[in-house]
Every structure is written in structure tokens, then in C-alpha cells.
Structure 1
Amino acid sequence: MGDLESRGSWKNRGAPPPPPPHSNYYTSSSPYYAESSEKQWTSWLVPMIVVANVAMFIVIMIVNDCPKNHNSSLEGNCVARFLGRLSFQPLKENPLFGPSSSTLEKLGALEWKKVVNENEAWRLVSCIWLHAGVIHLLANMLSLVFIGIRLEQQFGFARVGVIYLLSGIGGSILSTLFIKNNISVGASGALFGLLGAMLSELLTNWTIYANKAAALITLVIIILINLAVGILPHVDNFAHIGGFLTGFLLGFVLLIRPQFAWQERRHLPVEARGKSKYTLFQYAFWFLSMLLLIAGYAFFIALDEM
């Protein structure tokens, strides 16, 4: 499975993989951003998220305690038994070197019945911080570092943090609506949200980019490659799409920048600037995106209460 949104008795959802041989690949290459004199933020949130995910995975494995809770006579021995209670489930049960599905479910994996029928909406958030195994965790965190640090340096921790969390929830919501028979964990919705935000940031801040066509084509190709992974067996693309759409809309709202003509004249007296700070289409995108985001979350809440 690697870094994929997957389904199955233990199968889980994760994020797009790092560079080949895996096909899900995020990059933070400079063509996505226009060079400017704007403040460069110090990235600390993304490293903290990485640390939190690693710490959470250790907690998961301690709770899992394969040597104590697993019946080796039925499915084989735990993997890496020298790790003690941190050892992994048999590879036939979990090929990603991780815990059992029951452990993930206990600690907050996304499950339709529990979210809808038992009102455990907190699972929409908790599942983002759980991982199916070491391979899953590494692939997710590499993807996050590739795209998250660059975005945080450009736009700061607050905006990137909001996009990451709300996109993860958006991915969980769409999965809950369409995937009803399997549990799910992983941060792919949040990671796809950052990728979607990169695209909307490019579109809404179009005037400040030097190599517009190259940046757009490169980013669209990466997005298509990532979404194409959803065609593979055991891969759930609903979390990918839900996270991507949420991040795409949030990018129009949170990552808006002044147009190039305004930046060129911003040091002149007000009467000499002649250009508004934002263009009409930036305001239109902002309003429409806010409307769609509110409508989407309201629709899910209403559906959940029916």
C-alpha cells in the first residue's frame, strides 16, 4: 500500500508516496512560487506535525503490543519480535509493518458506522494522525516535508495549519459518504489539500508569476499523477478528492496575494498607485470559495443528523 488511501479489513488510507518507484509524489519546487520581497516565515509547524505523527505511531505500537495480543498459532509470529511490544503484526495481516486493524479502530480510525450511527465525529480528525505502518508513516511524512515546509515559509504557520487540518477533515467527510464498510487512517486528505491549495494559489495570484504556463502545467501533471493512483486496487480516491477540493477552495480564501501592479506601486503615494490591491476575479474567487466551503460542511452536518 505504501502511502495510499486504502481499504480493507485492516487496510487504511494514507497519502501520496514520495518520488519513484511510487507514483504519488509531491514537490515544492520553486516554479510554484513567485520570487518577491515578502516576509519569509520560519517553518516550525510542519516539523511539529511530523514529530507528533511519529510520537503517535509509537503510542499506537505500544497499545498494539503484538506479542501479548496476537495469536501466533493462527496467523504467524509478530515481525521484529526483538522490539518487544513495539513489534509489528504478521505481514499477512499488515504488510506495512504496523498494528492491527482493531488497534487502529480503538484509537480513532475513520469508520462510517461509528461516525454516523454513534455520533463519533471526532474520528474525522483523529484518523488524520494515525498510520497503518512504518512504510505508511515515512511516505506521508516525506510528502508533507516536500510540500509543507515550502508553503509554510511562504504563507506562515496559521494559514498552512488551517488548510492542512480542514483538508484532512474534508477528505474524511467524502470518504465517510462513500466508503461504508472499511476503516481508514492516514493524512492523504490533508496532503492533497496542500496540493490543491498550491493550484488555487497559482490561479488567484496569476499576475505575480513569471513563468505562468510552466508552473501551471507542471503542477497539473503532478495532480493528475496523484489522483491516478486512486485507480489502483484497494485505493480509495474519495479522501484524495475530498482533501484536494477543500484545499483548492481554501487556497482562494487564505493564500490570496496583492496583484503585481499594486506591489510595483505600493511604495508610491496612495493617489499615485492607480491600481486596487486585489483584482475583481480574486474577490470573486474568494466569495465563491467561501460559499462552497460553508455549503459543503453544512450539507454534511445536515446529512449526519438525518
Structure 2
Amino acid sequence: MKKFTGLFLALCIGGIANQSALAQEKETALVPLPSLDDFTKGENGWAFGLGGGIEYESAYEGSDEFGFEVDPAGAVQWRSGDNIFYFAGEALGWRGLRAENWLFEATVAFEEGREEGDSDDGYLDGLGDTEEGTEIVLQARRAFDADWRYWLDGRVITGDNGNIGIFGVGRRFGEQNDGTGSELALVAVYHDSERANRDFGITASQAAASGLDETYLDSGLRSFGLHYNYRQYLNENWLIYVEGLYERYSSDVEESPIVRNNYEAELGVGFIYIF
């Protein structure tokens, strides 16, 4: 769901867009946060966005291998007043604005597992593939004012492979109300023991097959870090986005033999065409 390089790139792109005067003010988005796609342009009814991007990211959680990956982007959305229903890739959800400064969201999504082949250097050999699964995401955001300049966020992810809690505080930059501009959030991520061991634990059979030490993790702090989002209209239909993530693992997670790097990082750039 992932750097300072992104900040520099976004500033450069933003300068070009402003100089060309192509980034015109759009209608008011449901909430003016760049981290939430809103293709409706303030109008009720259907909205469509289709595009793609390229990401440079960790090969798997805990990996010290990095690579490029091409990912689709966009969504089908239907807006009715302060509610948006959407289908985006492998996620089906709803988000609604209440009392100007409360945003609620519920999503059913498909969560991919980890495969042994995700490590080109063979660091996952003998661990087998982790199971895919369905998860439910429940989220609430509370803005300090109607402009959503500062906000608090709480999210619970529960599903077939355990539970995760994400808590953050964010700052929105720019004066636009159309969902463009940039946004920076500080987050803390917690996991229960089921999710922790699914991602970083090693069972007795896995230890025998891989040669790694058997490992069991308790529930607790998973990571803390920074999330960055940038959105900018290039013209009436084209939208560019930049997303960056840096998360530093807790000491408990770092002790897992699966973890070869004490952080997870991701930087992505892409374009979306809004019909």
C-alpha cells in the first residue's frame, strides 16, 4: 500500500506544470488529499481513470534487492454527493465525507503473497510461497480544519493472513481543492503475531528446508516511516503522480533471518488519463 528523490522530482514537475499554465484549478474533490484518487471533478455520476506507472521498490518485505516494476493505475468511480464508490484493480470500496472533517473508508481487496522466486539471489529458497488472501480495510481520517491542511489517520487491515494497524499524521501542501499538490505523512505500523510470522517468521519445517534459524515473532510495532504523495494535472485529462515510501523496521522484525535490510522503500512515477 510504497523518498526524498520523489520530493525533488515533484518540485521539478510542479514548476514545469505551473510555468506552462496547464494545471488549471479543477472542481472540488471529495477531500483535497493527493493520496486519495478522485476522478469525479466534483460531479455526481460515473468517472473513469486509466493509466500506469513504473516503481522502483524492494523485491519483498525485508529484502536488500531492488528492481523496477510496471503497475496499472486508475479506477472506476461513482459519486453521489459526499460518497464515492470505486473499483480499482483488485479493490472494491467506498469512502464518504462526514461533517467536512471526517472521512471514512471501507475496502475489500485481494492481497498477494510472497513467492520463493521473488529473491533473485535465492534468499527465500526453502521457505515456500506465502498464501494469497482477501482482506478488509477500514479507515478513518480526521482533519483539523475544513481545508485538510493537517490530519490524523487510523486504519485496520484484517484478513486471511492476520491483522495490521496503521496510525499516521499528515500535512497537505498547496492551496488546491482538486486533490492535487503534495502530501507527507508520518506513520507507525503494528501487526499481530499471525501477520508478523506470515511475513517474517520461520517454522520448523521451513528452517529444515532453508537452513535458516526457526523464528517466531510476537505482535507489536512493525515499522515507522514516511509516505509521500504528489498529484498534478498536466491538462484537462492527464494527471501525473509521484509516490514515495520509506519504512524503518522495528528491532524485533530486524532480527528475523528473512530481513536482510532494516527498511522498506519504494518510489513510483506514473500517468493517468481521466475520461
- TM score, norm. by length of structure 2: 0.30
Q: Which has the higher helix share?
A: 1
- TM score, norm. by length of structure 1: 0.27
Q: Which has the higher strand share?
A: 2
